Amino acid sequence: MSAILQEKETTLYLGPQHPGITGNMMIELKVTGDTIRKATTHVGYLHRGFEKLMEERLWMQCFPIVCRICVPEPDPNEENLARAIEELEGREVPERAKYIRVMMLELSRMATYLLWMGGQSGSAGLYTMPQWTVGDRDYIIDLFEELTGGRVYHMYIWPGGVRRDLPEGFEGRVRKVLDYLEQRLTDYDRLLFENAIFLRRAQGVGILDKDMAMEWGVVGPPLRGCGIAHDVRKDEPYEVYDQLDWEVITHEGSDVYSRAMVRRKEFEQSISIVRQVLDKMPSGPVHNPGPNPLKWRVPAGEAYVKTESARGEFGYYVVSDGSLKPRRVHVRGPAYVHGVSLLERMLVGANIADTSFIMNSLGTCPPEIER
Amino acid sequence: MKNIKGALVPFSALKYLGKKPHTVRYPFEKKKTAERYRGFHFNEIEVCIGCGTCSTICQNEAIDMIKIEGVEPGRGDSGLRPRIDNGRCCWCGLCVDMCPTGSLSLTDQYLHTSPDPDSYLLIPGVDNPEMKENISFTKSDTEPLLQFDRVPMRELDGAERVKSFAEVVLGYMQEEARAEATRCVDCGLCVTACPDHMHIPEYIGAIAEADDAKALKYIYDNNPLPEMCGKVCTRQCETVCAIGHLGEPIAIRWLKRYATEQFPDPAAILNPKIAEPNGKKVGIVGGGPAGLSAGYYLALRGFDVNIYEALPRMGGMTFAGIPKYRFPLDSLDKQIDYMKKVGVKMHNNVRVGKDITFDKIRNDNDAVFIGIGFHVPYTLGLTGEDLENSIQAIDFLRRVNIGETVDVGKKVVVIGGGNVAIDAARVSRRLGAEVTILYRRRVEDMPADWEEIEGAEDEGVHIVPQGIPLEIIGENGKVKSIKYGMAEMVPDDKGGRPRPKLIEGDEHILEVDTVIGAIGQEADYSFLPKEIMDELKIERGRVVVNELKQTSIPDIFAGGDNVNRTMDAISAIADGVRAVEGISHYLLDE
Amino acid sequence: MSDTLQKEEQIKASINAAFRSAKVSIQRKGRIIVEFRGGILPAFASYLKEYLNFKHLSMISGVDWPEDNQFELVYHLWSYEQSIHVMVKVRLDREAAKTKTLTPLWEHAETYEREIHEMLGVEFEGHPNMRDFILEDWDDLPPMRRDFMTREYVDEVYEWRKGREDAQDVRQTIAEQYNTEVPNFNNEDK
Ligand SMILES: Cc1cc2nc3c(=O)[nH]c(=O)nc-3n(C[C@H](O)[C@H](O)[C@H](O)COP(=O)(O)OP(=O)(O)OC[C@H]3O[C@@H](n4cnc5c(N)ncnc54)[C@H](O)[C@@H]3O)c2cc1C
Ligand code: SF4
Ligand code: SF4
């Protein structure tokens, strides 16, 4: 019977909804047996035309838009756009605001990794982990809510600094959450990273070798999971990353497991970075105000800025023609590179059951691909 | 299985079986939100001015400005209020940060589900008054989005100023004007307070866009003396500016001044279209702002216009009253010259009633406009008022402005607290005198502009508040000193503002060379023949007119100080502009 | 130009020496802009990649400049070794926008080119897989062109919700309250 199946090619449509993914995307699989012969991605379920919309919005009005480009991780978008504009304008950002921005970005990385842990284990059929990590992520979301007024979309980092200073006693509450999460890592290790099922599913699966990674423009944990030490925070430090003590984390192996381990360790490292930020944060203003948003013209010019998001290099190419609205805002998301052509390539030869699993390990995020 | 540890450790999860979960509670408990939570909107309806800034900034177009029962439009209030479409709102809170009054906020309320789409439309503050208790996300004072501070105006230094009649205010430079214009939120509420309803947001917008010529076009659309207004306007508009609620209002006056000063000859920019002559003639008595404004727009519409002015120059009180350090002659001339280009015929040194009769003017023309202003001063009613060197401010200012030499001696006292008093005081300083202002009430009660009061103090004018003049004492027929008593402020029985009451025995004597009275003036209607006076409705010294400035005699129109109570240049201009409508309507049936 | 821009200066000199049609400017530390006019783009890109070590293609942006009747493609390349980002700009005629694909150099150029093809209408010669990307069966103007009017499209395709027709314009309301009209000098000849 298996001989017959192996010869007959079948088409399977995976998605647009499926486990382990933040958003909707469909993959058309040509399979023989349970081996994938060809994978074709179909995106377009989440196209909101944000880049076009921004061309018809005042500069300030772009901020409620960009945070929605990536649902699990909105903050790098805000930071990027703000920093690109600041570069065009030559606007200074107060030191304290820079520290707060790093705190936001790292907390956001942690929140994203928690969501990813849930997704990664969920796509391997391990369902306790998502309950835990999504629940634990809520502690960070609570912090965001307290600081920014919004849980998921923060509208917090904006040109000239951040929108509000920390509330009374906030620092202590951040530390409490960090302590809790640090101690929870043991549980995560037991449940996922040392779990025999996970190891069996992840090790040696979804191989992306070093050369290919470089050639295909892979970034973030998937690149560092090939043992290559590139991280925007070090390559081109922004905000105050160069004043903090941390090292780029890598892991040899080039498989789903090594990508997971990079994230696992970076999660721990983020805890340390946030603690350093809290220790070092100077006092002072958090916002260097600009012109009235209704009549705010950004000087003509262009800027490319980037951050290391939880999924890798997140870049913004912003062009101003000196008018009230952007000429062009082009967003470079890591999933765009990982989740379309690379994924199609990596799925060839994989087992059907590993599709979401591999997809998740690359950090595929449809809302960011389509914008 | 080889990996025994890896197979066993996951079971450690069992230890959490009995634990209480963090996120969800059964039975359902509504989560207490954080203090800054961004939920449904609340609006303090009484504080909101309907400026619509919230609606403009909302990139989701979630906010409509709508008419609401019980909210009336008025000075500084459009009468509209925001309504949120919660089906579109994304709770970014930009509207809150942009609200210039701080009336709008977000609450900690966030739950609403309904199959009825209309239920998602919320008029904050009207539909949810109870949410006042739930306000959470409010405007921040320390991280503002709007710019609340005005670009400072450069001025001559006080000590420098008193040396000459050089203009005190230096005007904005291009960059300064752009920056100031950029602060405007384009709401247009200022228009409600401008007597002439000038197109303020439009010209400010043009300045912000670096298109000064366009600004000039908007300005001249309904004000032919904008450079004058740019320098001396009482700027009612600035008192209602949306930004003025929490910050310093936009310097509307200085921006107008800036725009007009950019062009030596407005004609070159405006290129006015002058209508073909329509065969109708209009005679104008008085060449003040009212008469000039009527004349200019009538001429543009093809009327044959003649203005008769008693003084050697046009401009009325803005020429004869306002001192040159505030409104220099060349600036006046520039504007008058432009009007002549448009075809307004002007006759100086012609006093109607003396050099030409009113009847002749009326017979020669199809309509007449009376804009004679208030040029007869009120007397103080004090003993010694007829002494030599006891003079009247407007006479004094006129003589100085015409160029006569006036000797006020070394010490001057000015009586009064209005702008005229301050002008007389500051002019006297420039003539070299030490000056004291005697005013019946407190400084904060002075009707004069606070900037003028400050300016006077900077120049060394001494103000004695709550001082009531009692007698002017003379020697050899000339003023020698003035006796005044100090007053205390007592509440008014009728509920008005506190009144000054003399304190028995607290009397002072001030040695002075000149006493200048500045307590008000009235109109001189003696040029009008008796039949006209009988027919013309005049109440409390002012000619009564309708909406279109038509008097009780259909072919006679009137405007300016001798009609309105606001008694400033822009009101006179507005009257003139309205009269043009009235006259066109009357003569051309338009 | 202190020694802090040394690396940038060196790169600029190398490019200038090898490609006359490339106008190189240093935007700031770590940012170089190359306006590449004429000549063969793949050859230039390959030179940057192989000889100057700009191995990482960050992205390809398309910008519409209808006033010049041109599209601008911006190739963002990063050199990990030198920590320098170079933006290679190519201008294409808007009426017949065509250029060679860079997929032989970078596999993931495929997605970027697919999107630019769809959103601006640029042809990439030699592209291996030019199928629909985000838009399905789109037959309107490519939507990222500046002359594609989002508002008009939306008005045509979607229905606005009912119940908001009573919205007022604040400025207009005020003008009407005083029987005035706001003139429009926006498009007047000076
Ligand atoms: C000292 C002073 C300072 C002021 N400062 C300001 C200020 O800073 N800002 C501001 O907005 N306003 C100011 N005002 C008020 C402002 O000048 C007047 O409100 C404005 O000029 C009134 O204009 P009008 O056309 O109604 O009358 P006027 O300007 O008074 O003009 C009337 C004209 O009619 C002429 N006239 C009168 N009778 C006859 C006749 N029979 N025949 C021919 N001509 C005649 C007069 O000579 C005069 O020129 C000030 C006034 C004074 C006195
Ligand atoms: S919160 Fe944001 S989306 Fe909602 S009404 Fe205000 S500006 Fe619009
Ligand atoms: S911005 Fe504030 S004051 Fe203006 S209409 Fe909106 S709520 Fe009212």
pLDDT value, residue B96: 95
Report yes or no: A362 and A340 within 8 Å, Cβ to Cβ: no
Q: Which residues pair with A312 in a beta bridge?
A: A309
Q: For position B475, what pLDDT does the model report?
A: 87
* C181 vs B contacts (CB less than 8 Å): none
Nearest ligand atom owner, CA of B104: 3
CB B87 within 8 A of CB C161: yes
Distance from A290 to chain B by nearest Cα, in Å? 7
- Which pairs count as long-range contacts for B265-272, CB under 8 Å and 24+ apart, including other chains? B265/B334, B265/B338, B266/B216, B266/B220, B266/B334, B266/B335, B266/B338, B267/B338, B267/B341, B267/B342, B269/B213, B269/B216, B269/B217, B269/C190, B270/B216, B270/B217, B270/B220, B272/B220, B272/B300, B272/B342
pTM here is 0.84
What are the tens digits of pLDDT across the range B562-574? 999 888 999 999 9
Distance B137 CA to ligand 3 centre (A): 15
Query: Helices marked H in C51-169 — which ranges?
Result: 109-119, 150-157
pLDDT at B76 over 80: yes
**Domain residue ranges of chain C, discontinuous segments joined by +:** 6-136, 149-184
Ligand 1 centroid to Cα of residue B567, in Å, is: 9
Greater model confidence, B156 or A272: A272
Where does the pLDDT of residue A132 fall: very low under 50, low under 70, confident under 90, or very high at 90 and above? confident
Percent of chain C topping pLDDT 90: 28
Judged by a CB distance cut-off of 8 A, whether residue C55 touches chain A is: yes
At residue A123 the predicted structure's pLDDT band, cuts being 50, 70 and 90, is: confident
The full DSSP string for A295-351 is: G--PPSEEEEEEEEETTEEEEEEEEE-SSSS-SEEEEE-HHHHIIIIIHHHHHTT-B
Kindly write down the DSSP assignment for every residue of B277-299, as one continuous string. Answer: P-S-EEEEE--SHHHHHHHHHHH
Closest CA to B6 of C72, A110, A201, A302: A201
| Chain A residues with beta carbon closer than 8 angstroms to that of B34 | 142, 145-146, 149
Whether residue A2 is predicted with pLDDT greater than 70 in this model: the reply is no
Under 8 Å between Cβ of B392 and B515: no
- Asked if the C-beta of A187 comes within 8 angstroms of chain B's C-beta atoms, the answer is yes
Q: Which residue has the tokens 């030596």?
A: B264
Crossing angle for the helix pair B419-430 and B393-402, to the nearest 10 degrees: 50
Lowest mean pLDDT among A1-15, B107-121, C2-16: A1-15
Q: Where residue A21 falls among pLDDT bands split at 50, 70, 90?
A: low
**Structure confidence at residue B26 (pLDDT):** 67
Which residues pair with residue A320 across a beta bridge?
A301
> Among A25, A29, A30, which residue's Cα sits nearest to residue A42?
A25
Each residue of B285-297: pLDDT tens digit?
999 999 999 999 9
Task: Copy the structure tokens of residue B458.
Answer: 């900077």
Of C51, C57, C15, C18, nearest in space to C32 by CA = C15
Interface test with C, best of B75, B191, B241 (most C CBs within 10 A): B191
> How far does residue B47's CA lie from ligand 3's centre (Å)?
9
For ligand 3, atom 3: residue with the closest CA: B48
Q: Quote the minimal CA–CA distance from A302 to chain B in Å.
A: 21
What stretches of B286-353 adopt beta strand conformation (E)? 304-308, 345-347
Is the model's pLDDT at A20 over the cut of 70? no
- Conformational region of residue B509, where left means phi above 0, alpha means psi within -120 to 50, and beta covers everything else: beta
pLDDT at C81 exceeding the cut of 60:
yes
Q: Which residue in chain C is spatially nearest to B64 when comparing CA positions?
A: C167
pLDDT at position A1, please? 46
Ligand 1 atom closest to Cα of B562? 26
pLDDT tens-digit profile of B172-225?
A: 888 999 999 999 999 999 999 999 999 999 999 999 998 999 999 999 999 999
Q: Which of C33, C46, C167, C37 is nearest to C106 (CA)?
A: C46
* Percent of chain B whose pLDDT exceeds 70: 98
User: If we measure between CA atoms, which residue out of B255, B272, B281, B197 comes closest to residue B573?
Assistant: B197
For residue A16, cis peptide bond before it (omega within 30 degrees of 0): yes
A270 Cα–ligand 3 center, Å = 41
Q: Please report the pLDDT score of residue A68 as a whole number.
A: 86
Q: How far is B211 from B565, CA to CA, in rounded Å? A: 36
Q: Chain C contacts of A230, Cβ < 8 Å?
A: 80
Task: Express each pLDDT in B380-432 by its tens digit.
Answer: 888 888 888 888 999 999 999 998 888 888 999 999 999 999 999 999 999 98
Count CB atoms within 10 A of the CB of residue C110. Answer: 21
Q: Considering only CA atoms, which of C21, A223, C186 is closest in space to residue B202?
A: C186
Residues A50-75 pLDDT 10s: 999 999 999 999 999 998 888 888 99
Residue B376 has pLDDT above 70, yes or no: yes
- pLDDT level of residue A120 (50, 70, 90 thresholds): confident
CB B118 within 8 A of CB B85: no
* Shortest Cα distance, chain B CAs vs residue A219, angstroms: 30
Alpha helices in B44-199 (DSSP H): 53-57, 94-98, 158-161, 174-182, 189-193
Using CA atoms, how far residue B167 sits from B158, B420, B425, C10, in Å, is: 12, 17, 16, 58
How far, CA to CA in Å, does C54 sit from each of A219, C3, C32? 15, 21, 12
State the Cα–Cα distance between residues B297 and B314, nearest whole angstrom. 16
Ligand that comes closest to the CA of residue B125: 3
How many CB atoms neighbour CB B476 within 10 A? 7
Tens of pLDDT, residue by residue over B93-119, are 999 999 999 999 999 888 888 888 888
pLDDT(A276) > 70? yes
CB crowding B335-363: b at 16 or more within 10 Å, else e: bbebbeebbbebbeebebbeebebeebbe
Strand segments, DSSP code E, in C66-114 are: 70-79, 84-93, 98-100
The predicted-structure confidence for B325-337, as pLDDT tens digits, reads as follows 889 888 899 899 9
Angstrom distance (rounded) from CA A102 to CA A79: 9
Nearest CA in chain B to C165: B64
Instruction: State the Rg of chain C over Cα.
Output: 23
Residue A5 reports pLDDT greater than 60:
no
Residue B326: other Cβ atoms inside 10 A: 19
Average pLDDT value for chain C:
87
Atom nearest to B316 CA in ligand 1: 49
Q: How many whole angstroms separate alpha carbon C30 and alpha carbon B373?
A: 70
Q: What are the φ/ψ torsions at residue B518 (nearest 5 degrees)?
A: -145, 65
Question: Residue C44: which pLDDT band, with cuts at 50, 70 and 90?
Answer: confident
AA letter at B260: T
How far, in whole angstroms, is CA B175 from its chain's centroid?
24
- Average pLDDT score over residue span B355-369: 92
Positive or negative CA dihedral for A111, A117, A120, A126? negative
pLDDT, position A27 = 86
Q: Tokens 């870049």 sit at which residue?
A: A315
Q: Within C54-163, where are the H helices?
A: 109-119, 150-157
Alpha-helix runs per DSSP H in chain C: 6-18, 41-50, 109-119, 150-157, 170-177
d(CA C23, CA B28): 66
- Strand, helix or coil at B233? coil
Confidence class for position A141, pLDDT limits 50, 70, 90: very high
Whether the predicted pLDDT of B75 surpasses 80: yes
Q: Look at residues C185, A85, C170, A301 and name the one whose alpha carbon lies nearest to residue B207.
A: C185
The pLDDT assigned to C64 comes to: 92
Instruction: Name all domains of chain A by residue range, CATH numbers in brackets.
Output: 2-370 (1.10.645.10)
CA atoms within 13 A on the CB side of B148: 16
pLDDT of residue B24: 62
The fold adopted by the segment(s) C6-136 is Beta Polymerase; domain 2 (3.30.460)
In whole angstroms, give the CA distance from residue A176 to residue A169: 11
Tell me, what DSSP letter sits at residue B388? B
Residue whose tokens read 């929870």: A184
Report residue B24 CA to chain centroid gap: 58
**Do residues A271 and A178 touch, judged by C-beta distance below 8 A?**
yes
Q: Given this model, what pLDDT does residue A3 score? A: 54
Please state which of the ranges A277-286, B121-130, C128-137 shows the lowest mean pLDDT: C128-137
Q: Are C170 and B188 in contact (CB under 8 A)?
A: yes
The phi, psi pair for C93, rounded to 5°, reads: -65, 130
Structural domains in chain B plus CATH codes: 41-137 (3.30.70.3270), 158-269 (1.10.1060.10), 275-375+528-541+552-588 (3.50.50.60), 377-521 (3.50.50.60)
Cα(B301) to centroid(ligand 3), Å? 40
Strands (E), B123-250: 135-137
> Which residue in B141, B111, B137 sits closest to B38, CA to CA?
B137
Q: What is the DSSP letter of A189?
A: I
Q: Which residues of A89-119 are buried (b: 16+ CB within 10 A; e: fewer)?
A: bebebbbbbbbbbbbbbbbbbbbbbbbbbbb
- B487 phi/psi in degrees, rounded to 5: -125, 155
Query: Would you say residue C190 has pLDDT above 60?
Result: no
Backbone phi, then psi, for A49, in 5-degree steps?
65, 35
Measure the CA angle with vertex B33, ends B146 and A180; round to 5°. Answer: 110
- Choose one of B327, B360, B372 to mutate for the ligand 1 pocket test, by most ligand atoms within 8 angstroms of C-beta: B372
Q: What is the mean pLDDT of chain B?
A: 89
Query: What per-residue confidence (pLDDT) applies to A22?
Result: 65
Ligand 1 atom closest to the Cα of residue B449 is 8
